[in-house]
Amino acid sequence: MAYGPHTHDDRGRMMAALGIESVDALFEDIPIDVRASRLDLDPPMAELDLAVRLQGLAARNRTDLASFLGAGVYHHYVPPVVDQMLLRGEFYTAYTPYQPEISQGTLQTIFEYQSLLAELTGLEVVSASHYDGATATAEAALMAVRATRRDRVLVSRAIHRHYLDVTGTYLSGGGLVLDEMPTLPDGTTDLAALEAALADAERPVAGVLLGQPNAFGLLEPMAQASQLAHAAGALFIAVVEPVSLAVLATPAEYGADIAAGEGQPLGIAAQYGGPYLGILATTTELMRQIPGRLVGETRDLDGRRAFVMTLRAREQDIRRDKAASNICTNQALCALAATVYLAAIGPHGLRDVASLGAARARELELALAEAGAPRLHSAPYLNEFAIRVPQAQAVHERLLQRGVLAGLALARWYPDDPELRDALLVCATEVTTSAEIRRFAAALGEELA
């Protein structure tokens, strides 16, 4: 066996102590009818052979294209210091810090994570952490339901489709209602429709959910939406992208009660979907409603400052069926990645990352427009936007052959929307190069010619 220490002698010694001749004796409590004989799996592999196999699989993935795909997950420059800290066994082979005396490393990094995200969002209470942006959004919706004791949530149509889907799943169990609000031609949420929906006295709204930037990369009128929600006694929930918070108004500034989002852009690799980092932040008023882990500052018997998990009465292991959520294992190591990333990149660096993305995206917009694919929407964007491309899906496939991953064909997400059938959602970040932009524009130009 690959990693076990037990030699033949060791097993013999243990069996002798137990007075048994075979380990089979320890499995006699499994009724004979349901005892398994053996598994039909491949034989063990030597580490060398396995390493070769894994290398072969990784090499089968193609990650060498010029990529303009974002749609919620963004390629950023991650300083190597981040992964080198993550590779420290003291962090990644520890468990949830249930014994604070010998877990101050994890506890303090979580406290720092909470603090850093509080700086970014402007909100005071940050949980650490949720599975991903989608589940954090769903938990935010459930928080609104609990806090308002209402059962209807409004969500903009311009929200990431997976987030909508997951929120729907999470609300489905409790028989809660999720209503989608339409968008305007400029790509932002229709506030008049929102206001009307909020006005329905029969069906009071628990929370209103908008993305900033929204699923089309556009900047929403968050302050107005927030006011409308509050006027109707609903909570306002912002789904945010954390790098953008280096330059955009904070959820606190526009009055959001809860911010949810995907922390992947903060130093976490794309990995075909995870592990990522669900961000969830809220106000002090809603502190006791937030699900997930919270670490607080305290003192030890000698008066030394130290950190400890706190407000545990919200959690499943204490409250069982009355808990704020069933979450247990979360994404702590990803929160550590975000913490190291933010410490390494600093406030100026993060602002530069966000601004560079905006500048590169603008360069992309101009190049693509010249190639014949203008923007689809007119609202301002940060670093992602939709372009109008006839037969977008077919063009997208042909561009792959030319080494360009031309973003996301929005028809994949909005199959029923005729306008979005001919649209690609593209993004740029600080790692996008001018050469890649030229390559994309040239290839697209040829396809459209």
Partner 1 sequence: MTDGTALATSARVGAAMAPEEARPGAGRQAMNAALQPTLAELSRPGRGGGKVPHPPADALARIPASALRSAPLALPELNEPEVVRHFVNLSHLNYSVDSGFYPLGSCTMKFNPKLNEWAARLPGFATLHPLAPDELAQGTLELMHELQEALAEISGMAAVTLQPAAGAQGELTGILMIRAYHAARGDVARTEVIVPDSSHGTNPATASMAGFRTVTVPSAADGGVDLAALKDALGPHTAAVMLTNPSTLGLFERRIVELLDAVHEAGALAYMDGANMNAVLGRFRPGAAGFDVMHFNLHKTFSTPHGGGGPGAGPVACNERLAPFLPAPLVVKAAPGSYRLERPEERASAIGRVRAYQGNVGVLVRAFAYIRAHGASGLREISDDAVLAANYLRQRVGQGYELPYAGPCKHEFVASGRALRQATGVRTLDVAKRLIDHGFHPPTIYFPLIVDECLLIEPTETESVETLDLFAEALLAILTEAHDHPERVKSAPTSAPVRRLDEASAARKPELRWRPMTGAGTPCPT
The answer to the question of residue 7 lying near ligand PLP (CB under 6 A) is no
C-alpha–C-alpha distance, residues 41 and 185, integer Å:
55
Q: Which residues of 259-284 are buried (b: 16+ CB within 10 A; e: fewer)?
A: bbbbbbbbbbbeeeebebbbbbbbbe
Which of a copy of itself, partner 1, ligand PLP, none does 351 bind, CB closer than 5 to 8 A by kind? partner 1
Q: Compare residues 30 and 328 and give the one whose CB is closer to ligand PLP.
A: 328
The answer to the question of residue 84 lying near a copy of itself (CB under 8 A) is yes
CB of 77 vs a copy of itself, minimal distance in Å: 4
Tell me which stretch binds a copy of itself (CB under 8 A): 83-91, 140-148, 306-314, 329-337: 83-91
Among 23, 26, 318, 328, binds ligand PLP (CB under 6 A): 328
CA distances from 17 to 10, 103, 247, 424 (A): 11, 35, 66, 68
Query: Helix (H, G, I), strand (E, B), or coil: what is residue 342?
Result: helix
CB of 134 vs ligand PLP, minimal distance in Å: 16
∠ Cα 378 262 435 (to 5°): 60
Which of ligand PLP, a copy of itself, partner 1, none does 299 bind, CB closer than 5 to 8 A by kind? partner 1
The answer to the question of residue 220 lying near a copy of itself (CB under 8 A) is no
CB of 381 vs partner 1, minimal distance in Å: 8
| Residue that has been written with the tokens 């660096």 in this structure | 349
CB of 256 vs partner 1, minimal distance in Å: 14
CB of 320 vs partner 1, minimal distance in Å: 4
Helix (H) or strand (E) holding 81: helix 80-86
CB of 10 vs partner 1, minimal distance in Å: 5
Which of partner 1, ligand PLP, a copy of itself, none does 146 bind, CB closer than 5 to 8 A by kind? none
Q: How many residues does the chain have?
A: 449
Tokens of 76: 């950023």
Burial of 108: CB neighbours in 10 Å, binned 0-12, 13-18, 19+: middle
- Give, as ranges, the residues between 18 and 77 that touch a copy of itself (CB under 8 A): 47-48, 51, 77
Q: Compare residues 211 and 278 and give the one whose CB is closer to ligand PLP.
A: 278
Q: Are 239 and 209 in contact (CB under 8 A)?
A: yes
- Give, as ranges, the residues between 425 and 444 that touch a copy of itself (CB under 8 A): 430-431
Among 22, 99, 329, 401, binds ligand PLP (CB under 6 A): 329
C-alpha–C-alpha distance, residues 437 and 104, integer Å:
46
Which of partner 1, ligand PLP, a copy of itself, none does 236 bind, CB closer than 5 to 8 A by kind? none
Q: Compare residues 43 and 173 and give the one whose CB is closer to a copy of itself.
A: 43
Q: Are 132 and 274 in contact (CB under 8 A)?
A: yes
Among 32, 39, 41, 87, binds a copy of itself (CB under 8 A): 87
Given the DSSP bridges, would you call strands 177-181 and 152-156 parallel, antiparallel or unpaired? parallel
Amino acid at 169: T
Q: Compare residues 70 and 292 and give the one whose CB is closer to a copy of itself.
A: 70
Q: Which residues of 12-29 are buried (b: 16+ CB within 10 A; e: fewer)?
A: eeeeeeeeeeeeeeeeee
C-alpha–C-alpha distance, residues 92 and 106, integer Å:
9
Q: Compare residues 109 and 183 and give the one whose CB is closer to partner 1.
A: 109
Give the footprint of a copy of itself on this chain (CB under 8 A).
Answer: 47-48, 51, 77, 79-80, 84, 87-88, 430-431
Give the footprint of ligand PLP on this chain (CB under 6 A).
Answer: 328-329
